[in-house]
Amino acid sequence: MQHARIHRRSFLALSAAAAAGAALPRSAGANVPKPYSWDAAPPTSDAGSFIKWMQDNRGEDPRYLHARFDRFQNMVGHVDLWEARNKRAFLMTPREEFCQPGSRAVIYDVNYRDIGFGVTITGPRVVARMTSAIDVKMGEKVLEIGTGSGYQSAYLSNLTDKVWTIEIIKPLAERTRKVHDTLIERGYTEYKSITSKNADGYYGWEEAAPFDKIIVTCGIDHIPPPLLQQLNTGGIMVIPVGPPGAQRILKVLKEPAGGDQVAVKRSDIYGGRPVPFVPFTKLDGDSIKGTHNQR
């Protein structure tokens, strides 16, 4: 079988990118003053109440909290968020911790932002709609392909305590693991549920499979068969599929079809509107060596 040859990252430029972007971004906030609780949720009635609750419970900077709440209201209005648990997960995830320092003032804008290594952090509206589309329940196993900045997996860890994520660029995978671990030390203990690996995401994570939900954060021209095989019957995958720069985000349902048969149903979460993503990287041969797993 001829695998995808489109490259999510340019390895020819990796050494230069690593030198420019490998440094761990400085923290945007203080330590978390109260232990994490799945039962705790910030108020959404108005910005003032939200900001006060988040300062008291999460110790976060009101500048970013105001921008986060403004974006939250915009996304609810555009139906990018439509369920209480997903709304909570967005509001509880400090996006400003997962970008370069120079992007923090605009990190809640709709645009994608560069994070080094030739890749970007996806815009918040797209992240929210993709995450809402897979409707993660507590205790479900979720696989993310394309760790990138670490924001998506952090978001997912506010929905379930079982998150696996794969990044193909080793220095980026290592940098993002450090971001998660630093935040855990500061009190974001929900990120302990994130298991990370540096590998070729095309093949998924066979030893941890099957997964109830899979989210792919880079574009490809087909659905990788290993990911479909590792998706539980009854599970959901969201994946950008199509030519470079014009992917359509598909919601893929793997349903029982009688006996040992399964049926795969596809729908477009944007109703046919193309959404550009950085391309998926598929390497020939074995997965990249040197995995980095941490709970």
* Residue 109 phi, psi (nearest 5): -65, 165
Domain range holding 208? 11-268
Asked if 204 contacts 227 with a C-beta cutoff of 8 angstroms, the reply is yes
The string of pLDDT tens digits covering residues 93-146 is 999 999 999 999 999 999 999 999 989 999 999 999 999 999 999 999 999 999
The pLDDT value recorded for residue 26 is 64
The pLDDT value recorded for residue 166 is 98
Q: Report if residue 280 sits inside a domain.
A: no
The pLDDT value recorded for residue 81 is 97
Single-letter amino acid, residue 66: H
The string of pLDDT tens digits covering residues 145-180 is 999 999 999 999 999 999 999 999 999 999 999 999
In the structure, what pLDDT confidence band is assigned to residue 23 with cuts at 50, 70 and 90?
A: low
Q: Which residue has the higher pLDDT, 274 or 251?
A: 251
Q: How many CB atoms lie within 10 A of CB 218?
A: 22
CA distances from 154 to 6, 164, 186, 250 (A): 27, 11, 14, 22
In the structure, what pLDDT confidence band is assigned to residue 275 with cuts at 50, 70 and 90?
A: confident
Q: Report if residue 289 sits inside a domain.
A: no
Q: Which residue has the higher pLDDT, 278 or 48?
A: 48
H-helix or E-strand spanning residue 234:
strand 231-241
Encoded tokens for 77: 């209005």
**Is the pLDDT confidence value at 245 over 90?**
no
Task: Work out the percent of the chain whose per-residue pLDDT is above 70.
Answer: 86
Q: How many CB atoms lie within 10 A of CB 10?
A: 14
Encoded tokens for 176: 């993002």
The pLDDT value recorded for residue 295 is 29
What is the chain's alpha carbon radius of gyration, rounded to the nearest angstrom? Answer: 18
Q: Report if residue 106 sits inside a domain.
A: yes
Question: For the whole prediction, is pTM greater than 0.85?
Answer: yes
Q: For 24, which DSSP code?
A: P
What's the CATH code of the domain at 42? 3.40.50.150
The packing angle between helices 62-77 and 124-134, to 10°, is 60
Q: Report if residue 255 sits inside a domain.
A: yes
Asked if 115 contacts 121 with a C-beta cutoff of 8 angstroms, the reply is yes
The pLDDT value recorded for residue 277 is 84
Number of domains observed in the structure of the chain: 1
Q: Report if residue 49 sits inside a domain.
A: yes
CA distances from 219 to 6, 67, 276 (A): 9, 28, 8
Encoded tokens for 208: 């941890």
Q: Report if residue 278 sits inside a domain.
A: no
Query: In angstroms, how far is the first alpha carbon of the chain from the final one?
Result: 34
The string of pLDDT tens digits covering residues 27-63 is 777 799 999 999 999 999 999 999 999 999 999 999 9
